Amino acid sequence: MKTRNLPQTLTAKESFLSRLKLQGGYYLMILPAVMCFLLFNYAPMIGVYMGFTDYKPARGIFGSRFVGLAHFRQFFGSVDFVRVFRNTLLYSIARIALVNLLTGMIFALLLYEIRSKLANKIYHTCMLLPAFLAWTVISAALLIILHPDKGLLNVLLKSMGLEAVSWYREARYWPAIITLCQIYKFAGMASIYFYSALLSIDTELFAAARLDGANRLQQIRYISLPAMSRVFCITLIMQLGSVLTTSISPFYELTFNQTQLYETTQVLGTYIFNGLGGGRYSFMTAVGLVQSLIGVILVLTANGVVSRIDPDSAMF
Amino acid sequence: MQRFSYVFLGAMCVVFLFPMYAALMVSISSRESILRYGYQLFPSQFSLEAYRLLFTEYGVSLLRAIVLTVGTGIVQPLFTVFLCMLMAYPLSQDDFRGRKFWRVFLVVTMLFSGGIVPSYILKTRFLHLQDTVMIFLIPTVSAWSIFLFRVFYINIEKAIVESARIDGANRLQIVLRIMLPLTKPLVAMEFFSGFLARWNDINIPLYYIRNRNLYTVQFMLQEMIRSAERAKALLEAGLSTSFNAQEIPIESTRFALAVIGAVPALILFPFLQKYYAKGISIGSTKG
């Protein structure tokens, strides 16, 4: 017969030991993940110190000469700074405003109008698909459209008697091109968040509004939009943190990292990457630190503001 | 309003599917038709020479890249998800002291990071991971995933855990035998997301890989798309038989590789779509 160990009253020492075993077991479980975080998240935070020194690989991180804020001053005073900062900021604003908020909401609202479940599924699927494609694949498709000789756009222009445009040579087209690609990739995902907010609306409200004489647009304005406000705030806060830390993939890949397009396409991320190639480690560390710090400040500020207005919408 | 939605969204669908369609069409265009007419939405002359080239002459290099990418794409997410689950479990149990501390520990990683340069220095100068397979296998545990698991775990009835404890299961067994099956949707989603992230990622090869033998499929594609010259060099280097350089259908090959690069996304996509909807509705509650 199997005997079971039933909990008995323990002495102080025994209960202390068993508590230790309990906690110890838990700590053993979190150990691997914690080590990963320490190594790959917290250790680089200490490495930020490189931004304040004249890092020479031979001297190591802490052996290099301390230069204080020299790199920061150099960065803010440089010609690059204005261009890179401006581009990063503008693209991020465009991304947040157009991609996530505007198109996300519009798609969600439109999707909500669809009655047929089949159509809903089809539309949903098509909208989400681009999010899973790599930027490489998207840049390949873009090449098909924008190629100077063989591209669809130029062939179309020539057949209409117009001049072909050298898309990959002119910097001024790219803000629009990249932003459109961002919309293409992320609008579907963004709309899911808003759509699920819409799903939680009590349909009685719409019936009541119709009785009161509201047309569809008014119903949207007074019922649907407020329901999405919470998602709006959370999305905004989350996106603000990454305003300066744009992923380099779209900017590097869509433009094939061509220098003549840098005027409008170089962002902080690609700037740092190119600097890495040139070995400007400490300088680029300082730049990266600026990115992270501003991100933190923005997130906490936005969160603070939102939590004053509507505590449920805040993240922290 | 409803009719407008149908029409507009229908048009959007065409737009969204268009790039894939275009890439596919070009990849099966013959070399002559591309030379003469450029990229066409419906090729005047069909040819599968690009795929033949990729799978036979270039096959070894491509296969190497596929094996590498798929292999790391399976191992790394498994590892990552396992670590996430392990950390999420104690955080979800009331009798774990120091829950608050570790929660802050995780939130900090969400807010602030050291930046790419210190990470780069760490991985190259200290860990010497450049040009190795290990660089692909680093677990990418994220606070977000851990919190997501934690929410799921909290929602599991305590009674189940209690009865397992009484039956003598240790904590690891609890996680694996009870939590894992009960959170299968989330585990699947995290795993497939992780695989796709590995497959689509070009950052790691971009920063850390110079050795052609360690190129991932997407990175190979990226090199090919970047410039025709690079594409030619890459192809010529990898061809197993001597191929007349003039004859290589560079254009269609680049896009054939793009189609190959999109395949896992297209396959995994239906699965992920299901779980994403579920995960998002959970994730939008404050964790």
**How would you write the pLDDT of chain B (287 residues) with one tens digit per residue?**
778 888 888 888 888 898 889 888 888 888 888 777 778 788 888 888 888 878 877 778 888 899 999 999 999 999 999 999 999 988 988 888 888 999 999 999 988 888 888 888 889 888 898 899 999 999 999 898 999 899 888 888 788 877 877 777 676 776 677 778 888 888 988 999 899 999 999 889 989 998 888 999 999 888 888 777 677 777 777 765 555 555 677 788 888 888 888 888 888 887 777 766 665 555 544 33
Q: What CATH number belongs to B49-283?
A: 1.10.3720.10
**Is the model more confident about B179 or about A179?**
A179
- Decide if B1 and A217 are in contact by the 8 Å CB cutoff: yes
pLDDT digits (tens, 9 = 90+) for A44-101: 888 888 888 888 877 777 777 888 888 888 888 888 888 888 888 888 888 888 877 7
Provide ipTM, 2 decimals.
0.83
> Quick one: tokens of B32?
């002559």
Amino acid in the structure at residue A245: T
Between the ranges A32-36, A130-134, B282-286, where is the mean pLDDT highest? Answer: A32-36
CA distance B246 to B120: 40
Residue A47 lies in a domain: no
> Quick one: tokens of A121?
């599924």
- Asked whether residue A34 carries a pLDDT value surpassing 90, the answer given is yes
Dihedral angle sign, alpha carbons of residues A85, A88, A90, A96: negative
- Asked whether residue A41 carries a pLDDT value surpassing 60, the answer given is yes
Calculate mean pLDDT across residues A232-246.
Answer: 78
Residue A215 lies in a domain: yes
Chain A residues near residue B166 by CB distance under 8 angstroms = 4
> Quick one: tokens of B170?
């240790």
Residue A132 lies in a domain: yes
Q: Does B191 touch chain A (CB under 8 A)?
A: no
Length of chain A: 316
DSSP 8-state secondary structure symbol assigned to residue A223: I
- Decide if B254 and A140 are in contact by the 8 Å CB cutoff: yes
Chain A residues near residue B114 by CB distance under 8 angstroms = 41, 43-48, 288, 292
What does the domain layout of chain B look like in residue ranges? 2-37, 49-283
Q: Report the domain count for chain A.
A: 1
Domain that includes residue A140, residue range: 70-313
CA distance B259 to B221: 10
Q: Tell me, what's the pLDDT at B286?
A: 36
- B-facing residues of A in 63-92 (CB < 8 A) are none
Q: What is the dihedral of CA B104, B107, B112, B118, to 10 degrees?
A: 80
CATH code of A185's domain: 1.10.3720.10
Beta-ladder partners of A66: A53
- Give the 3-state DSSP-derived string for A98-148, with helices as H, strands as E and coil as C: HHHHHHHHHHHHHHHHCCCHHHHHHHHHHHHHHHHCCHHHHHHHHHHHHCC
Query: Chain A residue with minimal CA distance to B140?
Result: A36
Residue B52 CB neighbour total at 10 angstroms = 15
- A-facing residues of B in 105-144 (CB < 8 A) are 105-107, 109, 111-122, 125, 138-139, 141
3-state secondary structure at position A302: helix
Residue A104 lies in a domain: yes
- Decide if B273 and A128 are in contact by the 8 Å CB cutoff: yes
> Quick one: tokens of A220?
């949207």
DSSP 8-state secondary structure symbol assigned to residue A65: E
3-state secondary structure at position B155: coil
CA distance B177 to B191: 18
CB A36 within 8 A of CB B83: yes
> Quick one: tokens of A13?
């020492």
3-state secondary structure at position A7: coil
Count how many pairs of residues, chain A against chain B, have C-beta atoms within 8 Å: 278
Half-sphere exposure for A150 (CA within 13 Å, toward CB): 21
CA distances from A151 to B47, B103, B163, B167, B221 (A): 19, 52, 66, 68, 19
Beta-ladder partners of A54: A65
Residues with Cβ < 8 Å from B217, sequence gap 6 or more? B62, B65, B66, B69, B199, B257, B260, B261
**Is the model more confident about A242 or about B131?**
B131
Chain B residues near residue A132 by CB distance under 8 angstroms = 196, 200, 265-266, 268-269, 272
CB A147 within 8 A of CB A112: no
Query: Chain B residue with minimal CA distance to A155?
Result: B38
Q: List alpha helices for chain B, DSSP H.
A: 2-27, 31-37, 49-52, 59-92, 99-111, 116-121, 134-137, 143-154, 158-166, 171-173, 180-182, 184-200, 203-208, 217-226, 228-238, 250-283
Calculate mean pLDDT across residues A14-33.
Answer: 83
Q: Tell me, what's the pLDDT at B77?
A: 95
pTM (2 d.p.): 0.84
CB B283 within 8 A of CB B51: no
Residue A284 lies in a domain: yes
Residue A123 lies in a domain: yes
Q: Tell me, what's the pLDDT at A4?
A: 56
Query: Chain A residue with minimal CA distance to B4?
Result: A110
Best interface-test mutation with B: which of A19, A49, A133, A247 has the largest number of B CBs within 10 A? Answer: A133
Q: Does A134 touch chain B (CB under 8 A)?
A: yes
> Quick one: tokens of A174?
């790219």
Question: Least CB-CB distance to A285: which of B37, B113, B118?
Answer: B118
DSSP 8-state secondary structure symbol assigned to residue A62: E
- Split at pLDDT 50, 70, 90, the class of A3 is low
Residue A34 lies in a domain: no
Q: Tell me, what's the pLDDT at A7?
A: 58
Residue A232 lies in a domain: yes
Looking up tokens 């190119």 gives A274
Q: Tell me, what's the pLDDT at A35?
A: 93
Nearest to A44 by CA among A67, A65, A61, A69: A61
Calculate mean pLDDT across residues A22-28.
Answer: 84
Q: Tell me, what's the pLDDT at B285?
A: 46
User: What counts of helices (H) and strands (E) characterise chain B?
Assistant: 16, 0
CB A316 within 8 A of CB A303: yes
Best interface-test mutation with B: which of A138, A144, A182, A267 has the largest number of B CBs within 10 A? Answer: A144
Residues with Cβ < 8 Å from A38, sequence gap 6 or more? none
Dihedral angle sign, alpha carbons of residues A258, A260, A265, A267: positive
* Long-range own/partner contacts, residues B161-167 (CB < 8 A, 24 or more apart): B161/B93, B166/A4
CA distance A157 to B227: 24
CB A182 within 8 A of CB A96: no
pLDDT digits (tens, 9 = 90+) for A181-225: 988 888 888 888 888 888 888 888 888 888 888 887 888 888 888
